[in-house]
Structures are given as structure tokens and as C-alpha cells.
Amino acid sequence: MLRFILLSLILVLNPAYAEEWRGHGGPVRTLDVSKDGREVLSGGFDGASIVWNSANGAAKNVLRFHAGSVDAVAFLPNGDFLTGGEDGIVSLWQPGAKAPVMHWKLHDARVASLAVSPDGKKFASASWDGLVKIVASPGMITELAGHQVPVNTVKFLADGTLVSGGQDGSLRFWRDGQQSAMVSLPSGVTAMAVLPDQTIAVGNGDGRVRFVADGKVKSEIVTGELPVIALAATRDGKTLAAAQIRGAVSLIDVATNRIRTTLVGPGLPVWSLVAIDNATLLTGGGDRMIRRWNLATGEPAGGVPLIKSADELAAYADDPGAKLYRACIACHTLKRSEGPRAGPTLEGIFGRKIGTDPDYVYSDALKGKDLVWTPETVSKLFEVGPAHYLPGTKMPEQTIGSPQDRAALMQFLEKATKP
């Protein structure tokens, strides 16, 4: 009895429940972390901005000022912070205050992105009105009119150069109020992250992440078919997280330019990302919650949301294929009785014609295709990746590089998906 009480207490007190940070009344559109890593700032479609304690997810201050959504937020090095809204306004806040100390009506359309210069003395805003503005002090505002199409993202490089990315696929570099260089990419620029070596990771509308350095694309990686909506690099620059619109989050190993894993768990799809250190990622979800993830495992921090999936796999404890199947569990079930998730049930997958599970609504990429799933075809799917094997599919891009791993996963599926 005592053991039971203790166990219940441990479950109730388990801090993993705090890993769902609740406060927003709509999707969490944007996230930033303070320089010291102690505070997180979020902006939402509900028009609120929230300052959170990054250690425990406690909401310290809920701020309402903007008319419409808050689409951009940024910390200054001294702990003050900026919010930018659908109303074209940028506001400056001091910690603890309930109203901004200052605000500027900078744009005629939403402020899509904000960036603070490395010395903290100026900030830049990018807007769907086609303009980038730099504010050096209340009266010193520089207008950078180059894009003339919606500008989705701005970042400062360490040397003070400003980089902006537009819907037209152009990446423009600005120095002293003048455009100093431009790189044209084949698809709209939707997000950016600057790595410690000053390589710019660029998220594009075609589902690719391109790495730009010295004015050139050095490499690229396909995360899926849908637009990349958010990017975040860890402080050491080793891992880059890329979220696709309506899709999952891929963790890219920067050194090898490969997708290491995709996040497995609740709260997908996500709208925003930020890495609070080298091991922890926060995602801002369409379900109004912010969640913390372990970057090494790709699992939600605390592990509690995975109890259900752990149960599903309990019967296969020592099976190496079951471990690999953890990359599928967020979206698929092994038994029809557990219902469909984001993807169709895999019960009876071998021998099933593609796109024919009666309980699931497929994308056109799978409907009416002439293919039967076998260990060979499913293995091929993850050898080349869904985006190549089934162009246009809703399944996010992921590959399993090792032939042994693919074989182990197929052996597991043969056992576990038998009707």
C-alpha cells in the first residue's frame, strides 16, 4: 500500500508534466531565448507574448499589446526584449513591466521577423510590406527597400552585416544601410539560422535547407516536399532543427549534412523552434503548447508523454528493430484497434496496396498508385526517403542509412504488424 502511495506521488510530482508549457490561446508562432538561457519569450496567434522561466516552464509575465498575432520576438543582450505584430508595430519591453517602454509603427503589414545586432545597439525588422528597417535609436530609422516582396526573415552576422530573406528567394546582405551582396535561391526564403562559423542555414519554400557561405550555396538537404517554416541551430552549431509546415521536425547533423532523426511525440506540427542549449530544443505547437525535447534522442524531455508508446513496444524489449520503430510511432500504430494517427495504421502493411487503408485519408501522392508494400518496398522507401520515393507525400522526409538497420526494422514490422 505504502509503495502504491509513493509510486502515485512520484507520478503526480513528475516534473515531466511541466514540459507542456500552457499559456497561449492559439498556435505558438515564434520563440526566442535570452542570452543567458534563463528566459524564453514566445509570441502567439492569440496576440499575447509570454516570458517563461526556461528551467521549469513557469509563465513569468503574460503581455498583451499588439492588435492581432505576435509573429516575431527577440531578446536584447541586456534582458530587454522586442515583440513585433501583425499590426506592423515593434515594441520594446523591460523585464517585469506590463506595458512596452516604447513602440514604433514601422510597417504597413505584419512584422515577420526581428533581429538584434551583436552589440545590442540596434535592431532590424522584416515585414510582409516588402521592407526591412533598422532602428538604431528612437529617431534613427533606416529603411532598406530591396525586396519589394514579403520579407520573411532577418539575422545579423557577427561582423554586423544584416541578412534578409524574401519570398522571391533572394538573400540580401546589408552594410551601412546599403545592399552589399545578394544570393538568389530557387525558392522563397522562409527561415534562417546563423551557425557559429557564420554559415547561414536557409529554409526554403521547396522543403530544402540550403547552407550559404561566402555568397554561395555550399550544400543542401531535403527535409520534405512542404515549405520549411522554422529553423533553429544549437549554440555549438552541430544540430539544426527544421520544421515543415504541417509536418514534423527534422534534426539535421550539420557536420555530415544528414537528417539524424525526426521528432517523435506529441504537439506536431509546430510553428516555431528555439534551442535553449546544445541538448534541448523547444517547439511551439499548433496545439497552443510549448514543449521541450531532448536533442540526443529526439524524444520529449521527461519521457512521460511516451508511456503509451513504451507500452506498445514492451513486448519487443530486446528487438533492435523495435528501437528503430520509435521513429515511426508518433504517426503510426501497429494495431488497427489503436486507430490512425497522423499516418495510417501499419497493421497488415505487408501485402497491402499503397494508399488503400479504409480508415485513412491519403494524399494524392499515394492514391491510385501501382505498388504493393513488402519488406523490399518499405525498405526502399526509407533508403531513398519518402520525398523521393513518393513525391508530394505528407510523410516527412527521413532516411535510414544503414542496410542492417533497415533489415532490422523490416523484421520487426513483419512480426508486429501481422493482423
Look at residues 103, 40, 106, 110 and name the one whose alpha carbon lies nearest to residue 75: 40
Minimum CB separation of residue 32 from ligand HEC in Å reads 26
User: Of 300 and 355, which CB lies nearer to ligand HEC in the complex structure?
Assistant: 355
Spell out a b/e string for 303-323, using b for 16 or more CB atoms within 10 Å of the CB, else e.
Answer: bebbeebeebbeebeebebbb
Minimum CB separation of residue 272 from ligand HEC in Å reads 17
Residue showing cell 527535409: 223
Asked if residue 83 lies in contact with residue 66, where contact means CB atoms within 8 angstroms, the answer is yes
Minimum CB separation of residue 363 from ligand HEC in Å reads 3
Minimum CB separation of residue 13 from ligand HEC in Å reads 31
User: Of 200 and 395, which CB lies nearer to ligand HEC in the complex structure?
Assistant: 395
Sign of CA dihedral 195, 91, 181, 147: positive
Minimum CB separation of residue 347 from ligand HEC in Å reads 10
User: Of 162 and 331, which CB lies nearer to ligand HEC in the complex structure?
Assistant: 331
Query: Rounded to whole angstroms, how far apart are CA atoms 225 and 222?
Result: 8
Minimum CB separation of residue 389 from ligand HEC in Å reads 10
- Which amino acid belongs to residue 245? I
Minimum CB separation of residue 332 from ligand HEC in Å reads 5
Query: Rounded to whole angstroms, how far apart are CA atoms 359 and 340?
Result: 7
Minimum CB separation of residue 200 from ligand HEC in Å reads 27
User: Of 228 and 395, which CB lies nearer to ligand HEC in the complex structure?
Assistant: 395
CA angle in degrees (0–180, nearest 5) for 72-77-80: 60
Asked if residue 31 lies in contact with residue 39, where contact means CB atoms within 8 angstroms, the answer is no
Minimum CB separation of residue 360 from ligand HEC in Å reads 7
Q: Which cell numbers hold the place of 405?
A: 538497420
Look at residues 211, 204, 208 and name the one whose alpha carbon lies nearest to residue 222: 208
Look at residues 324, 279, 287 and name the one whose alpha carbon lies nearest to residue 305: 287
Q: Which cell numbers hold the place of 406?
A: 533497415
User: Of 100 and 396, which CB lies nearer to ligand HEC in the complex structure?
Assistant: 396
Query: Rounded to whole angstroms, how far apart are CA atoms 142 and 133?
Result: 6
- Which amino acid belongs to residue 170? S
Query: Rounded to whole angstroms, how far apart are CA atoms 281 and 155?
Result: 20
User: Of 198 and 363, which CB lies nearer to ligand HEC in the complex structure?
Assistant: 363
User: Of 96 and 391, which CB lies nearer to ligand HEC in the complex structure?
Assistant: 391
Q: Which cell numbers hold the place of 114?
A: 526581428
Minimum CB separation of residue 248 from ligand HEC in Å reads 4
User: Of 84 and 343, which CB lies nearer to ligand HEC in the complex structure?
Assistant: 343
- Say which residues have a Cβ less than 8 Å from residue 148's Cβ, sequence separation at least 6: 130
Asked if residue 311 lies in contact with residue 335, where contact means CB atoms within 8 angstroms, the answer is no
Q: Which residues bind ligand HEC (CB under 6 A)?
A: 248, 262, 327-328, 330-332, 342-344, 349, 354-355, 357, 362-363, 365-366, 373, 378, 382, 393-396
- Is omega for the bond preceding 269 within 30 degrees of 0, making it cis? yes
Residue showing cell 492514391: 367
User: Of 130 and 298, which CB lies nearer to ligand HEC in the complex structure?
Assistant: 298
User: Of 79 and 320, which CB lies nearer to ligand HEC in the complex structure?
Assistant: 320
